[in-house]
Amino acid sequence: MIEVRLFAGLRQGRQKIYHMEPDSVKNVQDIMDVLNIQREEVNILLINGFHQKPETAVKDEDIVSLFPAVGGG
């Protein structure tokens, strides 16, 4: 299973953690599509702790973490 962790505002209307079958999604963009998260909403996108792009492929036992855009001051 792929574990998807959502942070801060991305949890609004969603769960904190999702588990997805590796056969059901080929990359992070697919995961965001399933969860109805737009690319521009995501500031930091990690696979197993390292920053990646939405096109990056995912595999079984990956942990995907999505953080919202934070930019105020």
Partner 1 sequence: MDARYARNIPALTEEEWGVLRQKRVLVVGCGGLGGHLIDQLTRIGIGAIRAVDGDVFEPSNLNRQLLSKVSLLGISKAKTAAEHIHLVNPDIEAQCVEAFMTKDNVQALLADCDAVLDGLDNPESRKLLAAACASSNIPYIYGAISGWVAQAAISMPGDHLMELLYPEETVLGDKSVLSFTPALCAALQTSLCVKLLVGRPVNTGTIYYFDLLNQEFEIIPFNNR
Give the interface with partner 1 as residue ranges (CB under 8 A).
Answer: 7-9, 39-41, 43-44, 46, 49-52, 65, 67-73
Q: How far apart are CA 15 and CA 12, in angstroms?
A: 8
The nearer residue to partner 1, 24 or 39, going by C-beta atoms, is: 39
The nearer residue to partner 1, 19 or 73, going by C-beta atoms, is: 73
Q: How far apart are CA 73 and CA 69, in angstroms?
A: 13
The nearer residue to partner 1, 27 or 68, going by C-beta atoms, is: 68
| Residues whose CB falls within 8 Å of the CB of residue 30, separated by 6 or more in sequence, listed in order | 24, 58
